Amino acid sequence: MATRTVTIASSVGLHARPASLFVQAANATGLDIEIGRAGEDFVDATSILGVMALGAKHGEEITLTAEGEGAEEALDSLVALLSRDLDAE
């Protein structure tokens, strides 16, 4: 299982537009990807409701996990996405 930790860069956190862009990118991988905080239950990263319910805020650290062929590369691209302020773009 591949794992990455990233700090949310978007000024509104993973809400609305940033969450939508992240979920679209996670779906595009075709992999089972989960997102969450350390010590809490993880949610399906391909579910907009799950990602928004997570309530990840700007500056907060979250962890991504993925299984399957290409998981390392998929997580690297998702980390790069979350490392940008998607609201400012």
List 8, 10, 15, 29, catalytic entry: 15
Instruction: Give the start-to-end residue ranges of the domains of the chain.
Output: 2-82
15 is catalytic: yes
Chain segment 1-48, per-residue pLDDT in tens:
999 999 999 999 999 899 999 999 999 999 999 999 989 999 999 999
Residue with tokens 């779906």: 27
CATH topology of domain 2-82: Histidine-containing Protein; Chain: A; (3.30.1340)
Q: What is the pTM of this model?
A: 0.94
For the beta sheet containing 2-7, the strands, ordered from the edge strand earlier in sequence to the opposite edge, are 2-7, 61-67, 32-36, 43-44
**32-69 burial, b if ≥16 CB within 10 A, otherwise e?**
ebbbbeeeeebbebbbbebbbebebebeeebbbbbeee
